[in-house]
Structure 1
């Protein structure tokens, strides 16, 4: 699995790899591959599962609902950024395969992201500050947060290690999340009013 991740990080997306190249990188004969995985698709799905299993472990240990909202944004950004750096190869694989992978792999990644959004929405529902927002709207907010975090992870993987650039990236990510939660504070799920579309002025006909 490590050999596949290294090849994805250095050269190509997973679907372009061959069993022989992975076996050569791992220093084993190709037939040894089948002792662990039925085929390349099985290896790819195992990598997807590993990526999200690590992420869920990190989020479970964090216990976000026990934190005050004010400190949640900074802590979340720093925690996630540290996790991405510690599991760089897994996240490089995930970012590439989210769009360039096989249909089955893209569907699996989408399913895991959707599950994370649902879990975050449930966590947000435990905050008193969000008690005025219904679960459907909380899921929409959670989707905004998860998409912002994914975008941050992409930039972390693209930026070379540099203290100044890293600080700027973290600050921007924190601001993005604060903007989302500032909007949440003004949102009212019970307000179903819609801003009326202004009518186009009628032009008087010439006589």
Structure 2
């Protein structure tokens, strides 16, 4: 039996007969600006942008919320790839921190709008969207924890509670990124400097606390 939410209908003249999941995600991204939530999108609006019949949407997503969660996951994956590449391109110390922060800001200002979705839905989205963002932040925190342990042990400068340090850094960067959405790109250099110094303060404090506690 055909599901009630997706009745069969003939494709309209001029509409695409086949479209991928990625095509729908990109159509949704084109409709989103810096301050528009995915929840404000309409199914028909996304279908029109993708040039498909509305019912074809259901071949890939249950509803707009399902599409939004997929966008958040795609955003997290894209950012992790960018930051990971930035870490590969530098050696250690301040260069790693600054390079990662620069990669974050570069992705924020990129034309694809993916990181904007991640930042925006974490603060203004529905509970389901916020949970999806939290899952992405958890991934970042764990990857950062592993990297911090590797770098600090190699430098014989172990941290106190690397997991907590990774959480503090991740939450700081994402909070500053949300703030940066409302700032002109001309302020990026100063924001990168501030974020780099804040992260270094967290790391220095964690190292000192480890030394004090033994």
Bin for the TM-score computed over the shorter chain: 0.7 to 0.9
Provide the residue aligned with 1:205 in structure 2: none
CA distance in 2, matches of 1:144, 1:10: 25
Query: Alignment partner of 2:145: what SS?
Result: helix
Deviation, structure 1 residue 52: 1.2
Question: CA offsets per residue over residues 146-183 of structure 1, 9 Å max, x none?
Answer: 11211232233222232xx2222222122212221221
Out of 51, 55, 58, which is 1:34 matched to? 58
Provide the residue aligned with 1:181 in structure 2: 203
Provide the residue aligned with 1:80 in structure 2: 104
Out of 141, 152, 157, which is 1:117 matched to? 141
CA distance in 2, matches of 1:168, 1:65: 22
Measured on the aligned residues, the alpha-carbon RMSD in Å equals: 2.6
CA distance in 2, matches of 1:117, 1:10: 25
Out of 75, 81, 94, which is 1:51 matched to? 75
Out of 139, 160, 163, which is 1:139 matched to? 163
Consecutive unaligned residues of structure 2, counting only runs of 5 or more, are 1-24
Deviation, structure 1 residue 54: 0.8
CA distance in 2, matches of 1:130, 1:76: 22
Q: Which runs of structure 1 show a deviation greater than 6 angstroms over 4 or more consecutive aligned residues? A: none
Deviation, structure 1 residue 43: 0.9
Given that 1:77 and 1:174 are in contact with CA atoms closer than 8 Å, whether structure 2 keeps it comes out as yes
Provide the residue aligned with 1:170 in structure 2: 192
Consecutive unaligned residues of structure 1, counting only runs of 5 or more, are 193-207
Deviation, structure 1 residue 64: 5.4
Q: Does 1:100 align with 2:124?
A: yes
Deviation, structure 1 residue 82: 1.2
Q: Cα gap change, 1:169/1:22 in structure 2, threshold over 3 Å: closer, same or farther?
A: same
Q: Cα gap change, 1:49/1:124 in structure 2, threshold over 3 Å: closer, same or farther?
A: same
Which of structures 1 and 2 has the bigger CA Rg? 1
Q: Cα gap change, 1:86/1:65 in structure 2, threshold over 3 Å: closer, same or farther?
A: closer
CA distance in 2, matches of 1:155, 1:130: 35
Query: Alignment partner of 1:126: what SS?
Result: helix
